[in-house]
Amino acid sequence: MIKKIINSNIVRLIGALLFLTVCAVIGAGLSYVNYESNPTDEAVAYFKAFLAQDYDTIYGLVNQPKNTYINKTAYTDRVKKIRESIVIDSYEISEPYKENGKKTVDIICNNETTETNQTIKLVFDEVKHGMQIIPDYKVDISKMLVKNVNFVVPTGDALYINGEVVTKDMAKVTTDANTNTDTYHFDKILYGAYDANAINRYSQIDLKPEIIQEGTTINFDATAYHANLEFEEKIKANADNMITQFYVNAREKKGNNKELKAYFANDKKLQKKVDKYLKETEEVLYWPETKNIDKYSVVSFEPGEVTHNSVYNNNNTFTVTYDFVYTYVSSTDTAIYTSYVYSIGGSCKTKMTLTYTLNEDQTLTLTDIKVKNKNQKEKGED
């Protein structure tokens, strides 16, 4: 009986010792986690990068939860402006403390010339992966984010924001077969102004949305397509060369020669239209000749600023409109019988509309042209 009591007491004692040991281990572990678990290193890394203007490192230290979009260009541009506005002769980094449930570090930046200081407050999110005990720390910029933002693009188009393609792992994407659109949903997105594009193989839609309000939806209008960058460059190169040749012919009265005809794919009907517009342009540049006045020639031709706009049509054609104003002077040689040099000059406001057709082999053919001139002509003599 006595042995049983002794054995029972020993068991209780061992159990108590084990319990105390476990408690001590847990307490030590918690103390270690609490000691190790603070964002001082991350705060120092962020501020060193801030001093060195290393914006790639700064961006990498920001917390980006799933379905939260923080555009690198937009965020780093904002941080860059802050950096350029602060003079830092010396600084102090505080111990981490809790504010609104989150660990926070204050960095006090001193301007010794003005004897003033500015405080950078870094708030941190705890981020754990799997069974990770000690969390990682990422900078929390939730106060700079707008909630529940949607971009609605035509199905098949890629969404670009500030030149970066938005992939399906960066947003929640749903498709509406009835409207033939894809919706990119972001739980949160950095507030501010963006360049946004919906781009497909041939064309794109461009918007400049300013996102400042919760629940914003950005709709891309399918009627606003224009040539994408690849085809814009192809069209512009062809159109610029054709327009140059057109005005060389008009100034020199060459007519629709083979160099100009080459741009119209041997389309005789279209070449007749070009002849018509050449004659109209020649009438702008020249005064009607008389038997008593030597022939005029264009001695000055100065094209002004050119603006152009391209639209992609649903029938695989692009319509490109050029608007420009050119000034010119045409004059005669000195006439032996009069000693006069006759001249005319003025300015002409022109709208040229070109239509390009996209062929099956992805080449482009110029298939239509329209030219409208509004001329102001002045006559003079020396």
State residue 33's pLDDT score.
44
State residue 151's pLDDT score.
97
Confidence of residue 12 (pLDDT cuts 50, 70, 90): low
What pLDDT digit, counting tens, does each position of 17-63 carry? Answer: 555 454 444 444 444 444 457 899 999 999 999 999 999 999 999 99
> How is domain 40-140 classified at the CATH fold level?
Nuclear Transport Factor 2; Chain: A, (3.10.450)
Say if residue 284 is exposed, middle or buried (CB neighbours under 10 Å; 0-12, 13-18, 19+).
buried
Tokens of 134: 């000690």
CATH, range 229-381? 3.10.450
- CA gap 106, 52 in Å, rounded: 19
β-pairing, 297-303 with 317-331?
A: antiparallel
CB 287 within 8 A of CB 379: yes
CATH, range 144-224? 2.60.40
CB 160 within 8 A of CB 127: no
Confidence of residue 82 (pLDDT cuts 50, 70, 90): very high
- The domain spans of the chain are 40-140, 144-224, 229-381
Which of 154-163, 173-182, 274-283, 372-381 shows the lowest per-residue confidence on average (mean pLDDT)?
372-381
β-pairing, 181-190 with 68-69?
A: parallel
State residue 330's pLDDT score.
84
- Residue 324 pLDDT more than 80? yes
Confidence of residue 291 (pLDDT cuts 50, 70, 90): very low
What pLDDT digit, counting tens, does each position of 158-194 carry? Answer: 999 999 999 988 999 999 999 999 999 999 999 999 9
Coil, strand, or helix at residue 121? strand
Confidence of residue 8 (pLDDT cuts 50, 70, 90): low
No. of H helices and E strands in the chain? Answer: 7, 22
The pTM is what?
A: 0.72
The region that residue 130 occupies, defined by phi over 0 for left and psi between -120 and 50 for alpha, beta otherwise, is left
Higher pLDDT, 26 or 339: 339
In degrees, rounded to 5, the angle at the alpha carbon of residue 305 between the alpha carbons of residues 300 and 309 is 130
* The two domains 40-140 and 229-381 share their CATH topology (first three levels equal): yes
The owner of tokens 């001329």 is 375
In the chain, the percentage of residues whose pLDDT exceeds 70 is: 84
